[in-house]
């Protein structure tokens, strides 16, 4: 073989057998099928077949690996992204759940507070109203008035108004006076006392007790409260009478 000979692989254009051909020649003869073929075409056949396969294999491998990597990477990214997003959504949901729970809590506390306040206010109003009523009843019922007057030598005492307690003139501490009349009716309580005969001049007290209405009263029943009127007697006549003073107990009265 001369230096000009350059043998290259080729494929027989007739049978496809692997052959080597001299590129410096125009034609060659196939050792398998004996056919003469064009060298250029046989070499081209070989190059097309193997270059394609090789290239395709390479491409296949590369692409597969690259695509797999890319897809894996993308998948990881997507997965991480999804997880990130899921985490963020979870956190956001948790935050909004917490904030809405806190909001509801605040609203509940506010409404609860308002409710409790309303109830307390109602109770305070209710009981203060009731206590006002009790107070006026114990000092002297608000719906009634008690007054006295001196007339024709008599001391008249009138408790006027509806639902007044049962009033009774008391002998005790009313020394020097005599009960002329006494009655409770729908318009109130009324009595009249005059000075006792042969009474010595001086200061006396006319006392009446207020009893719970409808309660059976005897000499031992203690009144709910008392009316005390101070009178002055001169020459068997009343000359002065104070305004009635209401006390819960006779010991509270300031006797002169």
Which residue's beta carbon is nearest to the bound Zn ion?
30
Is residue 32 a contact residue for Zn ion (CB under 5 A)? yes
CB nearer Zn ion, residue 14 or residue 44 = 14
Of the listed pieces 30-38, 65-73, 78-86, 119-127, which binds Zn ion according to CB under 5 A?
30-38
Of the listed pieces 32-40, 105-113, 178-186, 231-239, which binds Zn ion according to CB under 5 A?
32-40
For the bound state, the minimum distance from the C-beta of residue 45 to Zn ion, rounded and expressed in Å, comes to: 11
CB nearer Zn ion, residue 33 or residue 131 = 33
Is residue 12 a contact residue for Zn ion (CB under 5 A)? yes
Cβ neighbours, 10 Å, residue 177 = 25
Is residue 30 a contact residue for Zn ion (CB under 5 A)? yes
Of the listed pieces 24-32, 81-89, 110-118, 127-135, which binds Zn ion according to CB under 5 A?
24-32
Contact residues for 191 (Cβ-Cβ < 8 A; gap 6+) = 156, 157, 167, 169, 179, 180, 181, 182, 183, 208
CA–CA separation, 13 and 148 (whole Å): 153
Contact residues for 235 (Cβ-Cβ < 8 A; gap 6+) = 201
Cβ neighbours, 10 Å, residue 176 = 20
Is residue 242 a contact residue for Zn ion (CB under 5 A)? no
CA–CA separation, 137 and 108 (whole Å): 42
Interacting residues with Zn ion (CB under 5 A): 12, 14-15, 17, 30, 32-33
């Amino acid at each position: 073989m001369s230096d000009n000979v350059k043998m290259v692989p080729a494929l027989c254009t007739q049978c496809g057998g692997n052959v080597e051909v001299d590129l410096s020649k125009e034609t060659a003869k196939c050792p398998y099928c004996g056919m003469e073929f064009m060298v250029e075409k046989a070499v081209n056949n070989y190059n097309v077949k193997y270059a394609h396969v090789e290239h395709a294999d390479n491409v296949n491998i590369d692409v597969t690996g690259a695509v797999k990597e890319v897809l894996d990477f993308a998948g990881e990214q997507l997965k991480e992204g999804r997880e990130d997003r899921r985490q963020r959504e979870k956190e956001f949901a948790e935050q909004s759940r917490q904030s809405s729970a806190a909001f509801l809590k605040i609203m509940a506390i506010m409404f609860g507070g308002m409710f409790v306040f309303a109830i307390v206010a109602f109770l305070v109003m209710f009981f203060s109203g009731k206590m006002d009523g009790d107070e006026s009843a114990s000092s002297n019922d608000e719906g009634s008035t008690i007054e006295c007057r001196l007339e024709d030598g008599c001391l008249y005492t009138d408790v006027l108004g509806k639902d007044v307690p049962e009033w009774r003139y008391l002998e005790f501490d009313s020394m020097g006076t005599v009960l002329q009349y006494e009655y409770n009716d729908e318009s109130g309580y009324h009595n009249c006392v005059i000075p006792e005969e042969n009474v010595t001049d001086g200061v006396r007290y006319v006392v009446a007790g207020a009893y719970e209405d409808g309660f059976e009263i005897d000499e031992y029943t203690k009144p709910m409260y008392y009316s005390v009127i101070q009178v002055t007697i001169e020459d068997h006549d009343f000359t002065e009478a104070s305004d009635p003073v209401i006390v819960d107990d006779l010991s509270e009265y300031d006797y002169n």
